[in-house]
Amino acid sequence: MMIRRPSDVLPSEITPKDVYFNRRHFIAGAAALGVAGAAPFGAGAAPLSAAKSPLSTDEKLTSKQDVTSYNNFYEFGVDKADPAANAGTLKTKPWTVRVDGLVAKPAEYQLEDFIKPSTLEERIYRMRCVEGWSMVIPWIGFPLADVIKRAEPQSGAKYVSFETLYRPEEMRGQNGLLPVLDWPYVEGLRMDEAMHPLTILAVGLYGETLPNQNGAPIRLVVPWKYGFKGIKSITRISFTDKEPETSWNKQASNEYGFYANVNPGVDHPRWSQATERRIGEGGLFAKRRETRLFNGYADQVASLYAGMDLRKFY
Ligand SMILES: Nc1nc2c(c(=O)[nH]1)N[C@H]1C(S)=C(S)[C@@H](COP(=O)(O)O)O[C@H]1N2
Ligand SMILES: [Mo]
């Protein structure tokens, strides 16, 4: 479905020269991947497809309509419909990503130099929000580990921190009207979590570049953690020796920890985390699903937390 042959490409989808990869670069990526249509990241939705990773789940996908209209992105408002309604003001081209901190190769990248088309894959992941709902989303992205290796972390680098764009002119939620969170939104991972093959930077979903409301042009996706770890519209990735501050932990440390691993056995202080509602499934009375430890990814990630008390490190 997501993999299209070059013969399926409509003339209207052929990339203008000025958009993203130079032609040579694009053709190399396209040949390697069967990418049909180039990838004008940051220029609105554009075709972007890649081979499906075996790390994908085969569960039924949440509809594109739900994935792109039921969002959390407080920079654009706190209601689920706000991001789709308001994120059109976000300018995602040009876009720079700064990589700094405890690394041998700090750099400021233009997005088109940051993303290597040959590394893009489709990753269909179960996603679980701390609020008690879940989705299955066909992301397109590449391993965060690639970025880390390129940066050559120093031995003292134990954590990776991330920062969202701060631009109140384009993000109405950053205008002080909403004192819920400090801006910019920040998140972090321990180095081994960041290096894990399931951890990706996503640049697309459903065969297109990311819609603004889903965190264009580049966002983090960590499928065994609650959705708030998946920081959107990233402009900075830093390597540190100390556990970085995270937005929701700063807001309410008793409710949102640094780890945020999906765990049906550790309730949020104000609600149970034992079950979840799969978005798009049935109506008001649809049966809730049982939430799984590490969101069903325990076989791949439980070893990262061996010996840790998951009630303490929530
Ligand atoms: N910058 C930023 N990133 C963010 C958020 C946010 O408000 N701001 N919300 C988080 C939460 S709570 C969730 S559940 C996911 C939602 O991603 P989606 O809308 O693409 O499904 O984004 C996360 N990343
Ligand atoms: Mo969330």
Of 71, 72, 218, 221, which is best to mutate to test ligand 1, by the most ligand atoms within 8 angstroms of its C-beta? 72
8-17, 85-94, 221-230, range with the lowest pLDDT: 8-17
One-letter amino acid of 115: I
Torsion, CA 294, CA 269, CA 72, CA 3, rounded to 10: 10
Ligand 1 residue neighbourhood (C-beta within 6 Å):
71-75, 129, 164, 185, 214-215, 227-228, 230-233
Digit-coded pLDDT (tens) for 280-294: 998 777 899 999 999
pLDDT score at 179: 72
**Nearest ligand to the C-alpha atom of residue 165:** 1
* pTM (predicted TM-score): 0.89
Supply the residue whose CA is at minimum distance from atom 4 of ligand 1.
Answer: 231
37-41, 168-172, 198-202, range with the lowest pLDDT: 37-41
Q: Which two tokens stand for residue 21?
A: 């990869």
Q: Which two tokens stand for residue 167?
A: 């631009």
Mean pLDDT of 85-89: 98
Catalogue all structural domains in the chain, each as residue range(s) with its CATH number: 28-38+45-305 (3.90.420.10)
**What distance in angstroms lies between residue 228's CA and the mean position of ligand 2's atoms?**
5
Helix (H) or strand (E) run with residue 138 in it: strand 133-143
Whether the pLDDT of residue 16 is over 50: the answer is no
CA distance readout (Å), 136 to 64, 104, 120, 182, 294:
10, 37, 19, 29, 15
pLDDT score at 42: 64
Strand pairing category for 234-240 and 96-101: parallel
pLDDT score at 23: 30
Of 68, 70, 71, 73, which is best to mutate to test ligand 1, by the most ligand atoms within 8 angstroms of its C-beta? 73
**What distance in angstroms lies between residue 185's CA and the mean position of ligand 1's atoms?**
10
Mean pLDDT of 131-144: 98
